[in-house]
Amino acid sequence: MIKLLVVDDSALVRKLLGEIFGDEADFELAFARNGLEALEQLQTYAPDVITLDVHMPQMDGLACLDRIMVQKPRPVVMLSSLTADGADATLKALRLGAVDFVAKPSGAISLGLDEMADELVTKVRSAASAKLPKSLRLKERVRHRMQGARPTRRATGKAAPAAESLQGDGLVLVGTSTGGPPALETLLTSLPKKFPWPVLVAQHMPASFTGALARRLDGICELTVVEVTKPTPLVPGFVYIGRGDADVIVTRRAGVLVAMSAPSRADYPWHPSTDRLVRSAREHLPASQLVGVLMTGMGYDGAAAMAEMRAAGGKTIAESEETAVVWGMPGELVRADGADFVLPLPQIAACLERLMPCR
C-alpha cells in the first residue's frame, strides 16, 4: 500500500484528487491544506510520496519542499501551472529535490483533473518507488541534526573507455524524463566550451517548460543551450533542447545538418521522443558518428533505438541504477544489451570527453 499525502489549499482539488487516488486499490490517503500542515503530517503520517501544490497560503509549496528535503526526504510530485512563472517554479522545485511534476490544467479544474488522472496516478506511483540520491541536500540535513555522511559513489557496470576516441564530426543524443532536469544540469555543466560535437536533448516536458529549462541551463553551462523552435543548424559548442509536446528530429537542409521541431506522432508515446530523435539522426549520419546517452526516466523511450544504433556501430551510455532517480529508460537499454557503458551520472561527462577529445 502506498501512503500518499495530498497537499493543496483548494478543498475542491483535494476532493477531486481524493476521488482519483481513492479509485486505485494501492493508495492510502491523507490530506493537508498548506505547507505547515504538510510538515506536521510528515511526522505523524509518514507518507511514502507527496503531491504538493506550488501556490498556498502560510507556507507555499517551494518552502515546504525545501523543509521536507532537509528534515525527512520523501519523493514529491509537484502540481504546477502551465505559465512562465509556473515553469520557473517547477524547475526550482526539481533542483530542490522534487522527483517529478504534473502541469495543472487551465479552465475548469474538475474537467482538467479528470483528463489528466491517468498521467497523475502513473507519475505518483512511479515517484513512490523512486530513489532519492543519498547525497541530496546532505549538508543541510547534517545541519538539521540528521545522521548521515557524504557517500562515496562506486562505478557499476561497464567502465569508461581508457583511450578510445571517435574521429570526425558527429552528434551526441541525450534522452531523459523523470528526474531529468537536475541530471541534465549535472551532465551539461561538466562539458567544456570546446566540446566538439553538438548535443541534442529529448527531455519529456510540456512546451511551456522546455524554454525555461533551456534558459536555465544556458545561464550555468559553458556550452550555449537553446530550445529548438525552428530549423536550427547544428554546430559544436551548442546544446539543443527539444520543444515540449512535440518531437525534435535531425534533418538536412542545403547539405547542412539541422535540428527542427516536428509534430508529435502517435506511434511514439512520449514527447519529445528519444527513439524518434535517434532514428532521425541515423537517417543522415552513420551510427559510428553518433553517441547516445540515456538517463533517468520512467518507461522505455530511447532504449530500442539506442540498442539498434549500438548494434550498427554507435556508442551508448546508460546512467547506472545507483544514481538514476527512476531506472526505467536506462535500465531498459541495459536489459536490451544496448549499453557500451553503464555509469553513475557524475562520470558520464568524463566518458563523453574521452570518446571525443576536444580539438
The reply to whether 177 belongs to the active site is: yes
> What are the start-end ranges of the E strands in the chain?
2-7, 27-32, 49-53, 76-80, 100-103, 171-176, 199-203, 224-228, 232-233, 238-242, 246-253, 256-263, 290-294, 315-319, 341-343
Point out which residues pair with 3 in neighbouring strands: 28
Report d(CA 65, CA 101) in Å as an integer: 13
C-alpha cell at 359: 580539438
The reply to whether 55 belongs to the active site is: no
Catalytic: which of 126, 177, 208, 280?
177
Q: Cα separations (Å) of 301 from 25, 178, 308?
A: 28, 12, 13
CA 25 to chain centre: 28
Report d(CA 28, CA 46) in Å as an integer: 12
Catalytic: which of 8, 66, 80, 204?
204
Report d(CA 301, CA 244) in Å as an integer: 15
| Helical axes 61-71 vs 84-96, angle rounded to 10° | 10
What is the chain's alpha carbon radius of gyration, rounded to the nearest angstrom?
20
Pairing of strands 246-253, 171-176: unpaired
All residues at 6 or more sequence positions from 332 whose CB lies less than 8 Å from its CB, including other chains = 299, 300, 303
C-alpha cell at 103: 502541469
Terminal-to-terminal C-alpha distance of the chain: 54
Point out which residues pair with 342 in neighbouring strands: 318
The reply to whether 271 belongs to the active site is: no
Catalytic: which of 48, 66, 301, 340?
301
Q: Show which residues are catalytic.
A: 177, 204, 301
